[in-house]
Amino acid sequence: MHLHTARQARDAVSASGRMPVFVFKHSTQCGLSARAIREFRTFAAGQAPGLAYCQVDVIEFRAASDALETLSLVRHESPQVLAWLDGECLWHASHGGIKAAALAEQAQRLRDRAERDQ
């Protein structure tokens, strides 16, 4: 799902009450972001159901990007991934830290936490 508005960003965070939500903040004008989005897509393609994936193109949809920064309390960077559960940003990575394996590890941790909290 692509996030275009601050409202959609808030809705994505709200959805993390039901399942982990991963948001990729993408700069369409950055070569490093192009590499990172490939890692994000590889991660998303290899995951079992039960996770939500969102993308915001930060230059084109600044309001959504700014809302995520405010909600997460994590300084904006791009590329950046924010991982949410129960309305809280519990993990984030940027630039070279965005690797499919690291995302998969965090996804499992969030799934485990969600199961414990139920």
pLDDT, tens only, 2-53: 999 999 999 999 999 999 999 999 999 999 999 999 999 999 998 878 899 9
Q: Residues 40, 8: contact at Cβ < 8 Å?
A: no
60 lies in a domain?
A: yes
Is 76 inside a domain boundary? yes
Domain region containing 48? 6-117
Q: Is residue 1 part of a domain?
A: no
66 to each of 30, 55, 56, 92, how far by Cα in Å? Answer: 18, 13, 10, 16
Which tens digits make up the pLDDT trace of 51-106? 999 999 999 999 999 999 999 999 999 999 999 999 999 999 999 999 999 999 99
* Residue among 115, 113, 107 nearest 53 (CA): 107
Query: Which residue, among 116, 84, 72, 81, has the nearest Cα to 19 in the 3D structure?
Result: 84
* pLDDT single digits (tens) 72-87: 999 999 999 999 999 9
CATH number at residue 33: 3.40.30.10
- Residue 37 within a domain: yes
Residue 31: inside a domain: yes
Say if pTM beats, i.e. exceeds, 0.85.
yes
Domain assignment of residue 91, yes or no? yes
For β-strands 21-26 and 80-85, DSSP reports them as: antiparallel
Domain count, the chain: 1
Is residue 32 situated within a structural domain? yes
21, 84 Cβ separation under 8 angstroms: yes
